[in-house]
A and B are shown apart, each in its own frame.
Chain A
């Protein structure tokens, strides 16, 4: 099973720019299926980025983050080859995690 997490982390001078795309339905609970029944809410609640074990970004998400969510941020420090660990949990207890090398 391929990871649900895609990351592009690029060190440019003093800062590292991180872009992430995650495969997740992010169902809001407000949309009906073809039978007219509400699709239960299913969304990532917390997404964490750790650089060499130190948290550099924490996202708390609600139902209004788009399907296959995307987020971009940048932090100081971080060099080519450093580890960036990304992990998420969702409201149903689902979780995924992956470690990427900064480019």
Chain B
């Protein structure tokens, strides 16, 4: 029974995919080339509409739950796990780390607006001084270094714990990423988009191959998550990792999975990618920390 429904759904979604892809292409083509005429807001709407058409039964806010929004059997397993989620220990650790003073007596809270509470939805930000994108992970390490502390690993447990805690204080708040009227900000957004749609690795996959064209489908054993809302759940506890991972770790593992060469964490490309992907999910609630297979 479930299989039959699934098959019909897949056939339908293929049709939707074609229609929606066509409309996406049309939208993208309508915007003439050139950084000065890029309309990120219109692109974000088209991006969102594509997923809403592809999955008409999924509520917009539910996309932040990744594959669990698309697969009923997996959703039940996730709901069971959420009763006492596996990221619980990391979350508590993050709260402790966040409150622990630096050697100079200052705190992480001193580096952020509103003492760092309920601000995760505002990251990444475009920093006019450096002309670059600043992600939450980067801002945390900048905060450490400004206070005479060593940077911590972007892929390690402490960074995952800190961002888990900060995401938790922002749960339910919509992503609110700003692209200021600065050509460098638009360029960063454009770079992120280009990275997202460029094929790479021995499998010759782009990010979009999996997360725009094929969400809900199986890639080997995994159910692919939709790109819409994918960063809202970060950081995530993955059963595959047996632990927590940051956005940096996720990007690196995505590149490895298509047998490409991952970039260093928080390289310009990854920062721009996070900027683009977060921007197109504007309006969807922060759900992190999340758990995934």
A and B touch in the complex (CB under 8 A): yes
Residues of A within 8 A of B (CB): 2, 6, 8, 19-21, 23, 67-68, 70, 72
- What mask results when residues 75 to 111 of chain B are scored 1 for a CB within 8 Å of chain A, else 0? 0000001011010110010000000000000000000
Shortest Cβ gap from B292 to chain A (Å): 15
- Cα distance A23–B242 when bound, in Å? 12
Q: Are B83 and A68 in contact (CB under 8 A)?
A: no
12 A-B pairs with C-beta separation under 8 A: A2-B92, A6-B88, A19-B83, A19-B84, A21-B84, A21-B88, A21-B89, A23-B89, A68-B89, A70-B84, A72-B83, A72-B84
Distance in angstroms between the alpha carbons of A72 and B81 in the assembled complex: 11
CA distance A41 to B86 in the complex (A): 21
A8 CB contacts on chain B under 8 angstroms: 84
Mostly, the A contact residues are strand
Contact with A along B11-30 (1 / 0, CB 8 A): 00000000000000000000
- For chain B, the bracket of interface size reads under 10
B277 shortest CB reach to chain A, Å: 29
The 4 A-B pairs of least Cβ separation, nearest first, read: A21-B84, A19-B84, A23-B89, A70-B84
Q: Which chain B residues lie closer than 8 Å to A68 at the CB level?
A: 86, 89
Task: Tell me the nearest residue of chain A to B243, going by C-beta.
Answer: A67
**Bound CA–CA A69/B265 (angstroms):** 31
- A72: chain B residues within 8 A (beta carbon): 83-84
Bound CA span A19–B85, Å? 11
CB distance from A42 to the nearest CB of B (A): 13
Q: Which single residue of chain A is at the shortest CB-CB distance from B85?
A: A21
A74 CB, min distance to chain B CBs, angstroms:
13
Residues of A close to B242: CB separation below 8 A: 67
Residues of A within 8 A of B81 (CB): 70
Distance, CA A8 to CA B85, complexed state (A): 12
* Complex Cα spacing A20 to B88, Å: 11
Closest B residue by C-beta to A21:
B84
Expressed in whole angstroms, the Cα–Cα distance for A19 and B86 within the complex equals 13
**B89 proximity list for chain A (CB < 8 A):** 6, 21, 23, 68
Contacts of B84 in A (CB 8 A): 6, 8, 19-21, 70, 72
CA gap between A70 and B237 in the complex, in Å: 15
Q: Which residues of B contact A19 (CB under 8 A)?
A: 83-84
Query: When chains A and B are docked, how far (Å) is the Cα of A23 from the Cα of B92?
Result: 12
Q: Which residue of B lies closest to A67 (CB)?
A: B242
Type the 1/0 row for B55-75, where 1 means its CB is closer than 8 Å to any CB of A: 000000000000000000000
